[in-house]
Amino acid sequence: MTQNQSKNPWIWVPTLYLTESLPYVIIITVSVIMYKSLGVSNSDIGLYTSFLYLPWVIKPIWSPILELFGKKKQWFLTMQLILSLVFLGVGLTTGLDEFFLITLAFFWMGAFASATNDIASDGLYLIALKPDQQSFFVGMRSTFYRVGMITGQGLIVIGAGFLEEKFGNPTTAWSWTMIGVAGLMLLLTGINFLATPKVIEERVAKEDQPSFGKVFATFFTKKNIGLSLAFVLLYRLGESQLVKMASPFFLDERAKGGLGLTVTEVGYLYGTLGVIALLIGGIVGGIVISRNGLGKWMLPMAFAINAPNLGYVILSWYQPESILFPATVVLIEQLGYGFGFAAYMVFLIYLAEGLYKTAHYALATGFMALGMMVPGMISGYMQEWLGYPGFFVWVVIATIPSFIMAYSAKYPKEFGKKKEVD
């Protein structure tokens, strides 16, 4: 690879990963809050917004197409432009009678575009930067991915709440919010067009390319692959259901078992306080694994990601009126989630080790998305059946397989530990 145009990574890495995370969080997380505000039932929210994970589950299937045809920059710019149109479509159709079906179709198209944008953006990062630069900028890459989450879950949701109060109409508020998101995506697309480098991508000779079947098959011949995939699918079994129903719980009326918070308050809780706690937990988790290895921290991290779910049981039983109590629960839960998720991500890196590391990591993350999608699809039905107190008790029970898998998973206990330099 040789570069046709030299661009400063300090400029384009932040905007590229902000543009990668923003559509993901809008489609997967903010859509839940929007639909709840617009009166969609919890069962429909849980089922259909969880189904939006599917493109991230199956993206390894079409990722080779991006290697064979076109350039990475062309791919992600096209996908980002499509995402701008998708969010514009959502904004223009929220007032229609069949808004749920129509906006869901737009989100569905956006999910495929966002998953493809992820592949192309990561691909450009790998070919435009030298290995030492890749390591150096990984922190910035992660930080601005989190900035995208704060923007989506925090600022955009807070803005929607402000518009709800101004217009007194959730439909109008979310229509203008999504039109604004479309404008923001278009602006970021223009910045990425100007900021990201043009590169010459070297193609592997056809006769030297392994078949997709071979790459795919070798993943499933890894040692203890069945146990490893069970870990990937079950480690977040409780959390995958909690994450879909937490915002509806905060937004629902107290008479229905919720806490009756406003959209703006939920934006502050999850989009600012929660994301900051998540970031701190993740940083600390990465540091302690690098010092001691995955083996020492796997079970403590399983405890950290699951135990805070008890806080939601307490909230649903007592329904405190002060926002201080849900804020405390969100802070502890997101801090624990960030800390415990570090073990999960390091295990995925271990699972991808070998000859086809990039492709196998994509497969591993596909199973990760599957582990979020399927439990999330039933979460709304479980909540409507059990009520909020019973549902959160069920979530706690669903954490048991996580502890079993954390104890049973096979991996080098020193994996992830930083090597001592002589």
Beta strands in 231-328 (DSSP E): none
Residues 6 or more apart in contact with residue 154 via CB below 8 angstroms: 267, 268, 270, 271, 272, 275
User: How far is 121 from 351, CA to CA, in rounded Å?
Assistant: 23
Q: Which CATH architecture has domain 214-409?
A: Up-down Bundle (1.20)
Q: What is the mean pLDDT of residues 113-124?
A: 86
Contacts of 117 (CB under 8 A, 6+ apart): 19, 20, 23, 75, 76, 79, 80, 83
pLDDT class for 355, splitting at 50, 70, 90? Answer: confident
Instruction: Encode pLDDT of 317-350 as tens digits.
Output: 999 999 999 999 999 998 998 889 888 888 887 8
pLDDT at 146 over 80: no
Report d(CA 11, CA 183) in Å as an integer: 21
Q: Which two tokens stand for residue 240?
A: 């995958």
**Under 8 Å between Cβ of 166 and 175:** no
Most confident of 171-185, 266-280, 360-374: 171-185
124-133, 157-166, 172-181, 186-195, range with greatest mean pLDDT: 172-181
Q: Is the pLDDT confidence value at 137 over 70?
A: no
Q: What is the pTM of this model?
A: 0.81
Mean pLDDT of the chain: 87
For residue 389, give the nearest of 269, 276, 259 by alpha carbon: 259
3 pLDDT tier (thresholds 50, 70, 90): very low
- Given a contact cutoff of 8 angstroms between Cβ atoms, the answer to whether 75 and 196 are in contact is no
Which residue, chain included where needed, has tokens 């988790």? 285
Question: Residues 57, 369: contact at Cβ < 8 Å?
Answer: yes
Phi-psi region at 302: left, alpha or beta (left = phi > 0; alpha = psi -120 to 50): alpha
With CA atoms as reference, report the closest residue to 199 among 119, 120, 113, 132.
Answer: 120
Q: Which residues, at least 6 apart from 353, have a Cβ–Cβ distance to it below 8 Å? A: 360
Grouping H, G, I as helix, E, B as strand and the rest as coil, residue 2 is strand
Q: Is 275:335 a contact under the CB 8 Å cutoff?
A: no
Using the predicted structure, report yes or no on whether residue 147 has a pLDDT greater than 90: no
Q: What pLDDT score does 1 carry?
A: 42
Q: What residues does CATH 1.20.1250.20 cover in the chain? A: 1-202, 214-409
pLDDT over 50 at 4, yes or no: no
Q: Angle at Cα 177 formed by Cα 173 and Cα 178, nearest 5°?
A: 120
**Above 80 in pLDDT, residue 25?**
yes
CATH of 1-202, one of 2.120.10.30, 1.10.3720.10, 1.20.1250.20, 1.10.10.60: 1.20.1250.20
The pLDDT, as a whole number, for residue 140 is 66
**Residue closest to 94 by CA, chosen among 180, 214, 209:** 180
Mean pLDDT of 249-266: 93
pLDDT tens per residue, range 6-16:
577 888 888 89
pLDDT band at 422 (very low <50, low <70, confident <90, very high): very low
Strand partners, 200: 2
Which distant-in-sequence residues (6+ apart) come within 8 Å of 337 by Cβ?
Answer: 239, 278, 281, 304, 305, 308
Q: In the prediction, which pLDDT does 421 show?
A: 45
pLDDT (tens digit, 9 = 90+) per residue, 49-92? 998 989 988 887 877 777 667 788 889 999 999 999 999 999 99
Helices marked H in 30-169:
31-37, 42-51, 54-68, 72-93, 99-128, 131-149, 157-167
| Cβ atoms of residues 368 and 351 within 8 Å | no
Query: Using alpha carbons only, how large is the chain's radius of gyration in Å?
Result: 21
Q: How far apart are the C-alpha atoms of 32 and 48, rounded to whole Å?
A: 10
